[in-house]
Chains A and B, each alone.
Chain A
Amino acid sequence: MNFDELFGHFGQHTVDGLSKGAIYALIALGYTLVYGVLRLINFAHSEVFVVGTFAVLGAWTAFGMQDRPGAGQAILFLLIGLIAAAVASGGTALALERIAYRPLRRRNAPPLVFLITAIGLSLVLVEILGLLLPRLVGGVFPTLFGRERQIVGMPTIIEQKPLITIGDTSITNVQAIVFFSALLMMAMLDWFINRTRYGRGVRAVAQNPETAALMGVNQDRVIMLIFVLGGVMAGAAALLWSVRFGFTQSSLGFVLGLKAFTAAVLGGIGNLRGALLGGLFLGLVEVYAATLYTSAWEDVVAFVVLIVVLMFRPTGLLGESLGRARA
């Protein structure tokens, strides 16, 4: 138990935890949106994120990005990456809904069936990215699918530099970008769900699908919308991941998805602000745990915290409430 290190550099660990948690929170939004409306765990959402990371790398490669481009170019590449990731992730999420979930919903299948389907889809997506595409088109896109199931490095878009230093706590530019972009995305989503006509439809379906249908809400369109929104958020997370960590891998999604789902449950699944809180909380817990013990134990601590929180607050920190008055 390394308390000296933890409290000696408490500010630094908090900054690290927040920037880590911001990515969890963005992915968690996808779980929470789908769960809030459909009461179903979209287990394949983590793969939606991974598709996004590959799309970012693909777009950067296609437009010939080099390491450390100038400021103007960097912004351009960020935009290109964001569009590519959002389109790829949103499209994947939408395809999942249309191909797999909709036929099941038509038959009113029990939740277990949805979950197994989602797991199956997730396996298929991992294998397509890790095995099929490398075998089929690995020669054509060597930087993307050059080696089967291996880690693929990305060019550095922004070099990590300390931006602000207060005492011995320094916030790097990348951490600040990741954290504030994530917050911005979430604020936009929150506004969209709470303040727009479409958002009202989403909340209505989440509250009571039958009544919403009677009031003229097109249920199928709302469901497609939430899958796309979740996918776009995952795409944004994929871009931030690429900026922060600079690599991807076909099997990246499993652990990350597990963490993001944990974050969603911690905050109260179905609750958008809960996802933010849960993500940041989980990021902090992990970084503190990694400091107190070693990084080998951070996952254990994260899951133990999840179990303990659920024991005392079975609906998460903020409760489930996409359908309630406030999202």
Chain B
Amino acid sequence: MMNKLRATEARRRAALSGIADRWAALPAWQRLIGVTAFIAILYYLPLLGVPGLTWLRTDSIDGGNSWAGVLFTCAIYVLVAIGLNVVVGLAGLLDLGYIGFFAIGAYSVALFGSTNSPVVKWMQRTFELEPTWAVAWAICIPLAIALSLTSGVILGWPTLRLRGDYLAIVTLGFGEIIRIVARNLTGVTNGAAGISAIPGPEGAPSADNQIFGLQDLKPWYWLAITVVLLMVFAVRRLENSRVGRSWLAIREDEDAAAVMGVNGFKFKLWAFAIGAALGGLSGFLFASRNAFIDPSQFNATLSILFVAMVVVGGSGNMVGVAFGAVLLAYLPERFRFVSDYRWVAFGFAMVVVMVLRPQGLIPSRRRARELQDRAKEAKVSV
């Protein structure tokens, strides 16, 4: 009964406003078909050969990168954006050092999974194991998640009591600390030389691997998109839970939320930890596919790019941030002539979007309303 009422109400609103409302007003079976079709298209993308659409492929231009590889990067960035969206978009905490968690995830699989890592070599010596022994890839997944989650809690515990702007600089510092430590602790991380032979689902990278090889990147993309879809589902559940509502309350007015009995610190820490875990997971996938990582891949510029994806896409809205991530990962690959000018274009786009459309390209409705409200308040006070 309630569902029917809700659907009717939603249908009524659909007559008035945009696509999102129309979508919400569709009967459940139609939405299911829509979602299934969309997912099917996502899985079909690397094979894209429909006449008239092949120009979308990045290998359709001279010297373009492997299409599946670019799609994989997009998927990883989408995962990053979803994780960062929990922190920035939902809980409203500005985290400029998200790359730190990404790096921790990447280094967990590198340090424990690769036979070239000093950590694995040390384990082999200490426990008298064979020289081919390393921690299995599947065990590295929970390890990466656990390590990045723990680091999120460790960073969040002292710093989340700080006000927003301080948090931004402290997290930015954290990202740099992780990178510099990875560069300097040569005995543990191989330093600037990096770690090679990072395993994938089939073990260490080699020409014998049947599915997850170095040439054909399609399986990697399918793996990544599966993870992304699972995480989208999980975060969506979280958003609509008690935790998600607490985040929104904290973001919009922390004092009011506290008065209503929301423990701000606890939920902020949750957001930080969950965001960190997702960042770690994406770093993990990135490292396994790349098979080689070094500290220079985790610089602060990339960290800022991550925030840009979320904010330009529309912070708070998962569709928006995913769109932002795809945009920023895909455009420079397809339009190579801009790739030299990509940073200037990104910077310019960030300014233009923020000045003209501060809620982002595909905003969350609640956030857009909040911004409209603020604009109205401004007119009154000046």
Contact = CB atoms under 8 A, between A and B. Distances in A.
B162 interface: yes
Given A109-B374, A265-B166, A258 B350 contact: no
A60 to B, nearest CB: 27
Interface in B340-382: 340-341, 343-344, 346-351, 354-355, 358, 371, 374-375, 377-378, 381-382
A103 B300 CA distance: 28
16 contacts: A41-B165, A104-B358, A106-B378, A107-B358, A108-B375, A115-B168, A116-B312, A119-B307, A120-B348, A124-B351, A210-B381, A262-B173, A296-B183, A300-B177, A300-B184, A310-B158
A35 B381 CA distance: 20
B169 A265 contact: yes
A104 B350 CA distance: 13
A304 B307 CA distance: 23
Given A106-B382, A119-B307, 12 more contacts: A41-B169, A104-B354, A107-B358, A120-B349, A122-B347, A123-B343, A124-B344, A131-B341, A265-B169, A269-B165, A296-B183, A299-B176
Nearest to B311: A116
A107 B180 contact: no
Contacts of A108: 374-375, 377-378, 381
B137 interface: no
A8 interface: no
A120 B170 contact: no
Nearest to A311: B158
B355 A103 contact: yes
Given A121-B351, A310-B166, A131 B311 contact: no
Nearest to B178: A300
Nearest to B161: A314
A306 B169 contact: yes
A144 to B, nearest CB: 18
Nearest to B307: A116
Contact of A307 (B159, B181, B312, B371): B159
B158 A128 contact: no
B120 interface: no
Interface in A262-314: 262, 265, 269, 294, 296-297, 299-300, 302-304, 306-307, 310-311, 314
Task: Give the top 4 A-B pairs by smallest Cβ distance, nearest first.
Answer: A120-B350, A123-B347, A108-B378, A303-B173
A109 to B, nearest CB: 5
Contact of A123 (B165, B176, B300, B344): B344
A216 interface: no
B343 A126 contact: yes
B329 interface: no
The residue in B312, B341, B343, B354 that gathers the most chain A C-beta atoms within 10 A of its C-beta is B354
A127 interface: yes
Interface in B267-286: none
A111 B358 CA distance: 11
Contacts of B351: 100, 117, 120-121, 124
A109 B358 contact: yes
B172 interface: yes
Given A110-B374, A299-B176, A300-B180, A127 B358 contact: no
Nearest to A213: B382
A94 to B, nearest CB: 16
Nearest to B348: A124
B88 interface: yes
A76 interface: no
A151 to B, nearest CB: 18
Interface string A196-210: 000000000000001
A156 to B, nearest CB: 31
Interface size range on B against A: 35 or more
A297 B184 contact: yes
Given A41-B168, A258-B176, A116 B308 contact: yes
Contacts of B307: 116, 119
Contacts of A24: none
A270 to B, nearest CB: 10
B377 A127 contact: no
A195 B234 CA distance: 59
A105 B374 CA distance: 11
A215 interface: no
Contacts of A110: 358, 371, 374
Contacts of A124: 344, 347-348, 351
A113 interface: yes
A104 B169 contact: no
B34 interface: no
Contacts of A265: 166, 169
Contacts of A179: none
A247 interface: no
Contacts of B162: 310, 314
B135 interface: no
A302 B358 CA distance: 34
Nearest to B157: A311
Contacts of A65: none
B325 interface: no
Nearest to A209: B381
B86 interface: no
Given A111-B164, A120-B308, A307 B180 contact: no
A132 interface: yes
A271 to B, nearest CB: 14
Nearest to A121: B351
Contacts of B348: 120, 124
Contacts of A116: 307-308, 311-312, 350, 354
Contact of A303 (B177, B301, B374): B177
A210 B184 CA distance: 51
Interface string B150-193: 00000000110111111011101110110011011000000000
A10 interface: no
Given A120-B351, A124-B347, A297 B172 contact: no
Contacts of A262: 169, 173
Interface in B306-335: 307-308, 311-312, 315
B371 A109 contact: yes
